[in-house]
Structure 1
Amino acid sequence: MNRVGLEARSDVRVYSFAKIFYLQQNKASTARGSLRDFHVSENTCRRIPPTAPTYMSPKGTPRIIVIVGPTASGKSTLAVDTAKRFSGEVISADSRQVYRGLDVASGTITNEEMCGIPHHLLNVADPNEQFTVFTPPPVEPNQALRNELQQKDTKELHSLLQEMDQRRAAEIDENNPRRLIRAIEIADELGHVPKKEDNPPKFDCLQIGLTLSKETLRERIHERTTLRLKEGMIAEARQLHEGGLSYERMKQLGLEYELLAKYLEGNIETKEELQKAIETADWQYARKQMSWFRRDGRIQWHHPTQKDAIYKKIDSFLRTQ
């Protein structure tokens, strides 16, 4: 999400996901150890120089690297390796790792995996409260309207939105019923969906996308889920609930946490069923992510093993005047 650091020195930022935030300082600590006080030996990872270089575009905006891709594609690993190579820092844009205590099931990077690279926007928000970078229009959910719209297919929803707001209908993902219903709900209340303000970009971005074969990605999701179950994500979810996080809120967090809540409630009976449900949900999520990313022609796609090609592209981007 944006540029900042523990010492606010390095202006090369490496982002392990897709969105961008601005944060002054990360003071959080996690169950896996303090993010600020972690140190590694010289033999483990190369440390960042005391003062890192600054890379600016001709327009005077800082240059940043954005690493995107589906879940389990290796973004965090590439982000750390890239930050080490170019003396940068990592700012996560994960929608759940931003919350305190959601470490195991969300796959929050460990202190050891950070290799001494400063990371930001991890464990900074209360999981009981919604953390967002966008303030939506002041339209309360209309459950009666939603119930009616949920009976329609995406073609019908998109056609209805076109009648209400042609501009929004032209922009929206016409295969996403959730977004279509929300847009119709807002247009029904306000007469149209307010357009987001077009502010000049604050950063000059190079977007690197990671892509894997379907077979490899599914296998990675399976291996990752197996590991997280062994690391204790069920116990983590139980501890979160005992600490005051309701099952309803856990379900709102989605994916693993939604299914873990159902398991703890007894609606999923066995761990085997839980693992299968998580892997299915993560695979569906990965497919939706790729569908979304393919719409962005600015992303330059690479296999995670093509690091030399990626580094060459990044070096050229940072130094081109």
Structure 2
Amino acid sequence: MQKKDSTYNLVTILGPTATGKTGLAANLAAKIEGEIISADSRQVYRGMDLGTGKDYDDYFVDGREIPSHLVDIEEPGVHYNVYRFQADFIRVFEEIQERKKMPVLCGGSGLYLEAVLKNYKLIQVPPNKKLRKELEGKSLEELTQILKDLKPELHNKTDVETDRRAIRAIEIEKYYRENPDVDTYFPEIQSLNVGVKFDRDTRRQRITERLKQRLEEGMIDEVKKLLDSGLTPEQLIYYGLEYKYLTLHLTGELSYDEMFRQLEIAIHQFAKRQMTWFRGMEKRGTKIHWIDGHLPMEEKVEKIMDLL
């Protein structure tokens, strides 16, 4: 277990797709008596396994299954979102703490990760058209002052980076004042954030190899089964990447070779966007300790133990 004087009550393992995050999270959790919380926007869906990269075998370490949460909790077709994820995370995080275990957050969905690591509760605040009209035309300086008057302890500087963000922040703060019963509770989280990365060429090679492997393992049959279950092509295309291009192939819009080529490019672009998001998180104040994905598993775990 981590040192008793550790200030961390969460470890976050993040990184782009195909970097072995789940295996590392499971091996770390085995070492520190932890439980994994998935931060993946698509792994919440049952039956969407190969396409979302659910590596179930990775959850077994030395023959023991590491407890995991927020995987396979929804039916395909439902629009799960960041607000629901944050609420589910808070519930699971506190349950794990009650069991005196260490929560290990693992994933590559940057928005979901920041929803937790920014330490404030997201509320689905509806647009206030009347207020927006009143604020229209005001300078960023004026908007910043209005927000400070509403919220003197303005910590999140990204709220006032642009006029649009400032107006939305004012809108949210006014909503809280007019609806005092809204649940804004968020547990105090001190997270050790560890990123796994490979050089660009290796990352691209790993993505291509993994795509080939999953196609061999039956990813096309998985998508066909989802379509046969009653989901429409449009519903599956909504989930993007594998589900978009495999659906287009199964409906005859793309040949196998076209599907493979376009999907491979799309996943490479997705991984690049993930890294861009993580760099943005660092600029916004989230400390990430990056470790080399080439290192043996034991070394990676030891590096994290040293940080703890």
Structure 1: how far apart are the matches of 2:142 and 2:257? 46
Unaligned runs of 5+ in 1: 1-52, 141-160, 175-179
For the Cα contact (< 8 Å) 2:197–2:290, is it kept in 1? yes
Equivalent residue for 2:294, pick from 305, 314, 317: 305
Where 2:40 maps in the other structure, the secondary structure is coil
Equivalent residue for 1:119, pick from 46, 59, 68: 68
Could you tell me the TM-score, scaled by structure 1's length?
A: 0.62
CA RMSD of aligned residues (A): 3.7
Structure 2: how far apart are the matches of 1:279 and 1:72? 12
User: What residue is the counterpart of 2:116 in the other structure?
Assistant: none
Offset, 1:316: 4.1
Pick closer, same or farther for the CA change 1:186–1:281 going to 2, 3 Å.
farther
For the Cα contact (< 8 Å) 1:259–1:278, is it kept in 2? yes
Structure 1: how far apart are the matches of 2:66 and 2:186? 30
Report how many aligned residue pairs link the two structures.
235
Q: Percent identity?
A: 33
For the Cα contact (< 8 Å) 1:165–1:193, is it kept in 2? no
Pick closer, same or farther for the CA change 1:184–1:76 going to 2, 3 Å.
same
Equivalences for residues 1-321 of structure 1 within 5 A: 63-111=9-57, 114-115=60-61, 116-134=65-83, 135-139=123-127, 171=158, 194=172, 201-267=187-253, 269-295=254-280, 296=282, 297-306=286-295, 307=297, 310-318=300-308
For the Cα contact (< 8 Å) 1:221–1:282, is it kept in 2? yes
Task: Considering Cα pairs closer than 8 Å and 6+ residues apart, tell me whether 1 or 2 has the greater RCO.
Answer: 2
Structure 2: how far apart are the matches of 1:300 and 1:198? 29
Structure 2: how far apart are the matches of 1:253 and 1:163? 39
Q: Any idea what the Cα deviations from partners look like across 1:246-266, whole Å, max 9, x if unmatched?
A: 211212111111112222222
Offset, 1:103: 0.3
Pick closer, same or farther for the CA change 1:186–1:265 going to 2, 3 Å.
farther
Could you tell me the TM-score, scaled by structure 2's length?
A: 0.64
Offset, 1:85: 2.2
Where 2:24 maps in the other structure, the secondary structure is helix
Q: Any idea what the Cα deviations from partners look like across 1:280-315, whole Å, max 9, x if unmatched?
A: 111111111101101224011111234566434433
Offset, 1:80: 1.7
Pick closer, same or farther for the CA change 1:185–1:240 going to 2, 3 Å.
farther
Where 1:99 maps in the other structure, the secondary structure is coil
Structure 2: how far apart are the matches of 1:184 and 1:235? 44
Pick closer, same or farther for the CA change 1:165–1:106 going to 2, 3 Å.
farther
Structure 2: how far apart are the matches of 1:256 and 1:293? 22
